[in-house]
Amino acid sequence: MSIQIYGKNPALEVCKSEKKIFKAILVEGFHHESLPLLRQKQIPIEYLSKSEFGRLFPSSSQGIVLEIEDYKTYSLEELVPTLDLSKNPFLLMLDEIEDPHNLGAIIRSAEAGGVDAIIIPKNRSAKLSATVAKTSAGAIEHVKVVEVVNLTSTIEKLKKEGFWIVGTDLLAEENYQKIFIDRPLVLIIGSEGFGIRRLIKEHADLNVKIPMVGKMNSLNASVSAGILIFDILRRKQG
- The SS3 call for residue 72 is coil
> Torsion over CA of 211, 213, 217 and 219, rounded to 10 degrees?
-60
Mean pLDDT by 10 residues, the chain (238 residues): 91 93 96 94 97 93 96 96 96 96 97 98 93 93 96 98 94 91 96 86 94 78 95 92
Task: Give the pLDDT confidence score for residue 5 in this predicted structure.
Answer: 93
Q: What does 131-159 look like in DSSP terms, one character per residue?
A: HHHHHTTTGGGSSEEEEES-HHHHHHHHH
Domain 76-237 falls in which CATH fold?
A: Alpha/beta knot (3.40.1280)
For 137, residues 6+ apart whose C-beta sits below 8 A from its C-beta are 7, 9, 10, 108
- pLDDT (0 to 100) of residue 170: 83
Contacts of 163 (CB under 8 A, 6+ apart): 91, 183, 184, 185, 186
Cβ distance 188 to 204 under 8 Å?
yes
**Kind plus residue range of the DSSP H or E element containing 34:** helix 34-40
Q: Closest Cα partner for 14 from 28, 29, 4?
A: 4
Eight-class DSSP state of 86: G
Give 127's contacts (C-beta < 8 A, 6+ positions apart). Answer: 100
Q: What is the DSSP letter of 74?
A: B
Please report which residue ranges of 82-220 form alpha helices under DSSP H: 100-112, 130-135, 151-161, 198-203
CATH superfamily assigned to domain 2-69: Ribosomal protein L30/S12 (3.30.1330.30)
Q: What is the DSSP letter of 193?
A: T
Nearest C-alpha neighbor of 169 from the set 193, 187, 196, 191:
196
Query: 76-237: same fold as 2-69?
Result: no
Query: Domain extents for the chain?
Result: 2-69, 76-237
pTM: 0.91
